[in-house]
Amino acid sequence: MGLVDDNKNKEKDAPQESGGEGGDASFHATDQDDDNDDENKLHLGPQCSLKEQLEKDKDDESLRKWKEQLLGSVDINNIGELDMYFTLLPAETLDPEVKFLSVAIVAPERPDIVLSIPEDGKPQGLWFTLKEGSHYRLKFFFQVSNNIVSGLKYTNTVWKSGLRVFSTKDMIGTFSPQQEPYTHEMPEETAPSGFMARGSYTAKSKFIDDDNKCHLEINYTFDIRKDWSSKE
């Protein structure tokens, strides 16, 4: 969803920023495979329910306090109950469920652009427009149910005219289930600029946890133009 990021800790193929109106393109093609992390995957032990996690090592005071801090105010007895946020799920369901509600493009020079996220991850038509050279952040709104989601990551790959020009991977974090949506804001990014940077792009974003479960894949198109769209 983003193209350039000042955060040096990201794993990415970062485009080079152009300095002028008709300068060189602020991106370059790359042939790396964004699905080549199999060798580096961490193999975790078997999952267990939240109740089982709390009951484990219950005599260890430090572990008990850490688990309570991680879980926050979640009511273990209410997991699986039908409420205004989640559908009815078995109380001992092991797999966490993450539902992404929307994403906002936050830029200091304009009101936030709030985009709803379709459940199938396929927004119809042009999803949004970025102003070339603009500084912005992505802010995600999502809910977690059933169990703790561990090591939730965001990956994003962008293509222009069939060539892959950008890829990035960011850690979002670990979250316990709760009724209230979470909000997570990404580091600031800068859209590329210059004649060659303008145009239409296709992109694919994924949200994957430590168990390699993909909670959402979004396939979308966006534009980079001289200015923000007046319709957003």
pTM over 0.75: no
CATH number at residue 25: 2.70.50.30
Taking the CA atoms of 130, 14, 206 and 67 in sequence, report the sign of the dihedral they define. negative
Q: Are 177 and 72 in contact (CB under 8 A)?
A: no
Q: Is residue 190 part of a domain?
A: yes
More confident residue, 1 or 18: 1
The span from the CA of 169 to the CA of 161, in Å, is 22
Q: Is residue 68 part of a domain?
A: no
How many helices (H) and strands (E) the chain has is answered by: 2, 11
Q: Is residue 59 part of a domain?
A: no
- Residue 57: the pLDDT is 62
Count of domains forming the chain: 1
The band of 231, judged by pLDDT with boundaries at 50, 70 and 90, is confident
Q: What three-state secondary structure class fits 55?
A: helix
The span from the CA of 175 to the CA of 177, in Å, is 7
The band of 14, judged by pLDDT with boundaries at 50, 70 and 90, is very low
- Residue 7: the pLDDT is 42
The span from the CA of 189 to the CA of 62, in Å, is 39
Sheet with 214-225, strands from edge to edge, namely 11-12, 163-175, 149-160, 199-208, 214-225, 126-131
Contacts of 209 (CB under 8 A, 6+ apart): 96, 98, 149, 150, 151, 152, 153, 215
Q: Span 122-151, mean pLDDT?
A: 96
Q: Span 59-68, mean pLDDT?
A: 66
Q: Is residue 63 part of a domain?
A: no
Q: Is residue 37 part of a domain?
A: no
Q: State which residues form the domain around 102.
A: 11-31+95-225
- Start-to-end CA span in the chain (Å): 16
pLDDT above 90 covers a percentage of the chain that reads 57
The band of 154, judged by pLDDT with boundaries at 50, 70 and 90, is very high
Q: Is residue 46 part of a domain?
A: no
Q: 108-122, pLDDT tens digit by residue?
A: 999 999 999 998 999
Q: 72-124, pLDDT tens digit by residue?
A: 555 555 454 434 444 444 445 578 999 999 999 999 999 999 999 998 999 99
The band of 232, judged by pLDDT with boundaries at 50, 70 and 90, is confident
Q: Is residue 19 part of a domain?
A: yes
Is the pLDDT reported for residue 27 higher than 60? no
Q: Is residue 211 part of a domain?
A: yes
Burial of 71 (0-12, 13-18, 19+ CB in 10 A): middle
